[in-house]
Amino acid sequence: MTANASAGWMVPSARLWRMRLTQVAAAGPVLTVAAGLAAGISAGAWTGVAAAVVVAAAAGIVLWVERRRYRAWAYREREEDLIVSRGVLVRRVSVVPYGRLQFVEVTAGPFERAFRLATVQLHTAAAASDARIPGLERDEAARLRDRLAVLGEARAAGL
Amino acid sequence: MTEDFGAGWHRLHPLSPLIQGGGLLSGLLGIFALSLVTAEGYEAYVYQLVAAGAIMVAGLVRWLVTRWKLDSATLRIETGLLRRDSRQLPMARIQAVDMVRPLLARVFGLASLQIRLAGAGKGDDRLAYLTLGEAARLRAVLLAGHHGLDPAAPEPAERPVITVPAGRVIGATLLRAAPRFVALAVIAAVAARAAPALFPASESTLAVIALGLVTSTCLQVTARYGFTVATSHDGIRIRRGLLSTMAETIPLRRVQAVRLVQPLLWRPFGWCRLVVHVAGVAGRDSGPKAGGLTKALLPVGSMSEAQHLIRLVFGPDIPELAKPPKRARVKAPLSYHFLAAGHNKVMAVTITGRVCKKTVYMRLEKLQSVRLSQGPAQRRLSLASVHGDAAGRQAHAAFADREADQARELLDELATLGRSARSTESAGG
């Protein structure tokens, strides 16, 4: 694993990776066949094969990128703030003091619900704060939400 | 009567509906006059009369159902006939108080008070209109309440700091608008040369755009005319306006950040402008997150005036600036000449910009979050940028392209300093 797995750092659930894998596995072949057929019918068999190969390769690349992105997510609850680290191409680290939390949002899209996952997003009064943790197991998301709410209330500071 | 606002409910001034409908009414009357000239019978303009009547009645009803009340810590405003709307504005949460006086209100000696709170919805927190004396008194009471002082204290004296001469306002506004006018002229010239047959058709469009530009430039000049900055115990007071006037009061500790901007065309004159960020609601930015409010602290001024104002807001200790390492020039060739940043225990100063130099001053106690970002080029050069965010959309200080190791330390240091600055702030009241 990455350096993020070291002490104190938490990572999203392994199911997040399975979810991404399923998404690509479901969409990839369909798109490959569709692209192959469309190009094959309109511009000849070899063009169709070439198009299918290109799309299949693109799906592979997406999978590789998603794998790296998945492994880059990490968060850590420190004494006074939450720190979230993410990103492959652009590495980002966000530090949000508990006292600055305006509200915590827990969302789960249809895919996340199917995999019993949820995304926790932290909102401060600054529009640029972007601490978001996807793919948390539901219990962990609820625990984090409640803990952040308690800590936020205890340390709340005015604007 | 204006001395103290008792416990009871108060109404707005009876002339309020007339002034609020004023703009629309005069427009309608204009159409009405036009139709008098052009139409054959009176049936053609009876609709305008009906519409004007409806506006007056609506305004009257609004006046009848609106009332306000002041108690020890909150201002309550109730309004609405069908859907009652009751607002409580706690004085402690006030971000800024604006006294707005449109031309018509000035004729009648009235003023409206707009009370800004962070994230408080659609800017309905205003009392329009009160008499000038009432408005000034209420503002003083609200601000005294905000600072936890005795509300019966007289309005604190103001000390004028800076007045911007009218000539400089006009010159600077024209200079800022100049590139647009030049671009328009170039387009017109090219159009006339390239397609002379089509030019008459596009000419009118260009004329409309030119008219719009002229109007907006004039509006900018009138809005900034007579710009005065003064300080008093309850905050910074900004007065401006030619026809309709505005007096904005910002309590000093409500300042999220101050941005100093030096546009290219102003630099030969040594001019700059200052923008102050306050947590509040800016008209159209209504998202789930609190929008920001920006106010001109100095529309155009010399660098020494700007420095003076900045010391006034942030105190005498301004941190030393350090440039990023030389290799950052590879990653940011167009902005490296400006890039610099520095911080001390209580505030941060950062400079960014390519053509237009932007300096951000921010108190660390206002930090909402701290971020570090490292793009691919920065990773190759082992650089990283650190951003400090204050409340709002643009209040944001960027330590661009620092040494990667130092950036990582800076991230933790800013978070720690921000926390200790906050705790001393709350301990000190």
Q: Which residues pair with A106 in a beta bridge?
A: A120
**Of A121, A104, A102, A105, whose CA–CA distance to A159 is shortest?**
A102
B397 is written with which tokens? 């200080």
Q: Tell me whether residues A97 and B390 touch, CB distance under 8 A.
A: no
3-state DSSP assignment of residue B61: helix
What band does A135 get if pLDDT is binned at 50, 70 and 90? very high
Q: Report how far apart, in Å, the C-alpha atoms of B121 and of each of A102, B146, B291 are.
A: 16, 20, 10
Q: Which residues pair with B373 in a beta bridge?
A: A92, B385
Q: Cα–Cα–Cα angle for B76, A124, A85, nearest 5°?
A: 175
Q: Could you give the CA distance from residue B391 to residue A128 in angstroms, rounded to a whole number?
A: 9
The mean-pLDDT minimum among A13-17, A30-34, B54-58 falls in B54-58
The secondary element (H helix, E strand) that includes residue A64 is helix A45-72
**Among all residues of chain A, which has the CA nearest to that of B414?**
A95
**Of A145, A141, A106, whose CA–CA distance to A15 is shortest?**
A141
Does A131 touch chain B if contact means CB atoms closer than 8 Å? yes
Chain B residues with CB inside 8 Å of A126's CB? 289, 368-369, 389-392, 395-396
Does A3 touch chain B if contact means CB atoms closer than 8 Å? no
Let me know if B38 is exposed, middle or buried by CB neighbors in 10 A (0-12, 13-18, 19+).
Answer: exposed
Q: Tell me whether residues B371 and A129 touch, CB distance under 8 A.
A: yes
Q: Tell me whether residues B374 and A91 touch, CB distance under 8 A.
A: yes
Q: Report how far apart, in Å, the C-alpha atoms of B97 and of each of B143, B173, B238 are.
A: 8, 26, 11
Pairing of strands B271-279, B292-302: antiparallel
What band does A146 get if pLDDT is binned at 50, 70 and 90? very high
Q: Tell me whether residues A99 and B396 touch, CB distance under 8 A.
A: no
B217 is written with which tokens? 């430039």
Q: Could you give the CA distance from residue B225 to residue B244 in angstroms, rounded to a whole number?
A: 10
Does A61 touch chain B if contact means CB atoms closer than 8 Å? no
- Dihedral sign, Cα of residue A76, residue A77, residue A83, residue A86: positive
* DSSP states of B97-113: EEEEE-HHHHHTTEEEE
**Of B397, B234, B226, whose CA–CA distance to B299 is shortest?**
B226
Provide the whole-model pTM.
Answer: 0.86
Does B412 touch chain A if contact means CB atoms closer than 8 Å? yes
Q: What is the pLDDT of residues B227-242, one digit of tens each?
A: 999 998 888 999 999 9
Collect all residues with Cβ–Cβ distance below 8 Å to B204 and sequence separation of at least 6. none
B17 is written with which tokens? 């509906």
**Is B145:B151 a contact under the CB 8 Å cutoff?**
yes
Q: What is the pLDDT of residues A57-79, one digit of tens each?
A: 999 999 999 999 999 999 999 98
b/e burial code for range B86-102 (CB count within 10 A of at least 16 → b)? ebebebebbbbbbbbbb
Q: Which residues pair with B238 in a beta bridge?
A: B229, B248
* Domain boundaries defined on chain B: 16-160, 165-224, 251-427
Question: Chains A and B: how many Cβ contacts under 8 Å?
Answer: 106
Chain B residues with CB inside 8 Å of A131's CB? 369
Q: Tell me whether residues B389 and A124 touch, CB distance under 8 A.
A: yes
Identity of the residue in B119, B374, B412 whose CB atom sits nearest the CB atom of A90: B374
Q: What is the pLDDT of residues B107-118, one digit of tens each?
A: 999 999 999 887
Q: Could you give the CA distance from residue A98 to residue A42 in angstroms, rounded to a whole number?
A: 58
Fold of A74-155: PH-domain like (2.30.29)
* Domain boundaries defined on chain A: 13-71, 74-155
Q: Tell me whether residues A128 and B372 touch, CB distance under 8 A.
A: no
Which pLDDT does position B119 carry in this prediction?
A: 64
Task: Provide the residue-wise pLDDT of chain B in tens; the chain has 429 residues.
Answer: 334 677 789 999 999 888 887 777 777 777 777 767 766 666 666 777 787 788 888 888 989 999 999 888 889 999 888 888 888 888 888 889 999 999 889 999 999 999 988 765 555 688 989 999 999 999 999 999 898 887 677 777 888 999 999 999 999 999 989 988 899 889 888 888 887 777 676 778 888 888 999 999 999 999 999 999 999 888 899 999 999 999 999 999 889 999 999 999 999 999 999 999 988 754 444 444 445 778 899 999 999 999 999 999 998 999 999 999 999 999 999 999 999 999 999 999 999 999 999 999 999 999 999 999 999 999 999 999 999 999 887 889 999 999 999 999 999 999 999 999 888 766 543
Does B415 touch chain A if contact means CB atoms closer than 8 Å? yes
Q: Could you give the CA distance from residue B408 to residue B379 in angstroms, rounded to a whole number?
A: 13
Chain B residues with CB inside 8 Å of A96's CB? 368-369
* DSSP states of B260-326: EEE-GGGGGGTEEEEEEEEES--TT--SSS--EEEEEEEEEEEHHHHHHHHHHHH-S--PPPBPPPT
- Rounded to 10°, the helix B22-38/B43-65 angle is 170
Q: Could you give the CA distance from residue B421 to residue A73 in angstroms, rounded to a whole number?
A: 30
Let me know if A124 is exposed, middle or buried by CB neighbors in 10 A (0-12, 13-18, 19+).
Answer: buried
| ipTM for the assembly | 0.86
Q: How does DSSP classify residue A10?
A: B
Does B395 touch chain A if contact means CB atoms closer than 8 Å? yes
Q: Report how far apart, in Å, the C-alpha atoms of B346 and of each of A25, B351, B366, B410 are.
A: 52, 17, 10, 14
Q: Tell me whether residues B411 and A95 touch, CB distance under 8 A.
A: yes
